[in-house]
Structure 1
Amino acid sequence: MMGDVEAAARLSAAVGWAHRQEDWRFAAAAGNGYVACSEDAIIGTAFCWTFGDDRATLGMLIVAPERQGCGIGRRLLEHVANVAGNRMTFLYATAAGKPLYESVGFRACGKLTQYRGIPAHIPEKHALEQETLRELADEDMPAVIQMASRACGLDRRDILLSLRALARGVVIEREGEIVGFSLIRPFGLGYAIGPVIAAPSHDDARAKRLIGHWLAQHAGDVVRIDAPETANLDPWLRHLGLTPASHVVRMVRNIAENVQLGELDNNWRYYAVINQALG
Structure 2
Amino acid sequence: MATLPDNRLTLRAMENDDIPTIQAMAQAEQWPHRKQDLAAMLELGAGIIALVEGKVIGSAMWWLWGETQATLGMILVSRPFRGGGIGRIIMETALDQIGARTIQMLTTESGLPLARKFGFRGVSEVRQHQGTSFTAPLIPLAPDERIRPMGQSDIAPVAALAKAACGLDRQALVPVLFEKGHAVVLDRGGETIGFAFFRRFGRGYVIGPVVAPDIPRAKALIAQWLGARSGEFTRLDMIGECGLHDWLEDLGLIRINRFVTMVRGEEPSIAQPGQSFAITSQALF
Asked if these proteins are the same fold (TM beyond 0.5), I'd say yes
Please say if residues 143 and 178 of structure 1, whose CA atoms lie closer than 8 Å, have aligned partners that are also in contact.
yes
The match for 1:39 is 53
| Pairing partner for 1:128 from 125, 141, 145 | 141
| Distance in 2 separating the partners of 1:40 and 1:170 | 46
Deviation of 1:218 after TM superposition, in Å, equals 2.1
| Distance in 2 separating the partners of 1:22 and 1:39 | 28
Matched, 1:210 2:221: yes
Deviation of 1:39 after TM superposition, in Å, equals 2.6
Q: Which amino acid aligns with 2:281?
A: N
Matched, 1:221 2:227: no
Q: Provide Cα deviations, 1:172-194, integer angstroms capped at 9, x if missing partner.
A: 11111111100011000000110
Q: Which amino acid aligns with 2:276?
A: Y
Moved more, 209-218 or 88-97: 209-218
The match for 1:264 is 270
The match for 2:265 is 254
Matched, 1:8 2:19: no
Deviation of 1:42 after TM superposition, in Å, equals 1.3
| Pairing partner for 2:256 from 240, 245, 255 | 245
Matched, 1:169 2:183: yes
SS of the aligned residue for 2:60 comes to: strand
The match for 2:87 is 73
- Same amino acid, percent of matched pairs: 34
Matched, 1:194 2:208: yes
Matched, 1:57 2:63: no
Please say if residues 138 and 220 of structure 2, whose CA atoms lie closer than 8 Å, have aligned partners that are also in contact.
yes
RMSD: 1.2
| Distance in 1 separating the partners of 2:142 and 2:177 | 30
Please say if residues 196 and 222 of structure 2, whose CA atoms lie closer than 8 Å, have aligned partners that are also in contact.
yes
Deviation of 1:219 after TM superposition, in Å, equals 2.0
Deviation of 1:14 after TM superposition, in Å, equals 1.1
Deviation of 1:266 after TM superposition, in Å, equals 2.9
Please say if residues 149 and 185 of structure 2, whose CA atoms lie closer than 8 Å, have aligned partners that are also in contact.
yes
Q: Provide Cα deviations, 1:152-207, integer angstroms capped at 9, x if missing partner.
A: 1111010111121111000111111111100011000000110000122xxx1111
SS of the aligned residue for 1:165 comes to: helix
The match for 2:165 is 151
SS of the aligned residue for 1:74 comes to: helix
| Distance in 2 separating the partners of 1:274 and 1:72 | 28
| Distance in 2 separating the partners of 1:230 and 1:143 | 25
SS of the aligned residue for 1:83 comes to: helix
Moved more, 71-80 or 110-119: 71-80
| Distance in 2 separating the partners of 1:33 and 1:163 | 20
* Gap regions ≥5 residues in structure 2: 1-14
Aligned residues: 270
Please say if residues 211 and 275 of structure 2, whose CA atoms lie closer than 8 Å, have aligned partners that are also in contact.
yes
Q: Which amino acid aligns with 1:62?
A: L
The match for 2:8 is none
| Pairing partner for 1:113 from 127, 130, 145 | 127
Runs of 4 or more above 6 Å deviation: none
| Pairing partner for 2:244 from 233, 243, 264 | 233
Please say if residues 15 and 65 of structure 1, whose CA atoms lie closer than 8 Å, have aligned partners that are also in contact.
no
Q: Provide Cα deviations, 1:245-264, integer angstroms capped at 9, x if missing partner.
A: 11010010022xxx6x6x71
Deviation of 1:214 after TM superposition, in Å, equals 0.9
Q: Which amino acid aligns with 2:260?
A: V
Q: Which amino acid aligns with 1:117?
A: G
Give me the TM-score of the superposition, normalised by structure 1.
0.94
| Distance in 2 separating the partners of 1:225 and 1:137 | 23
Deviation of 1:40 after TM superposition, in Å, equals 2.2
Deviation of 1:235 after TM superposition, in Å, equals 0.8
SS of the aligned residue for 2:104 comes to: strand
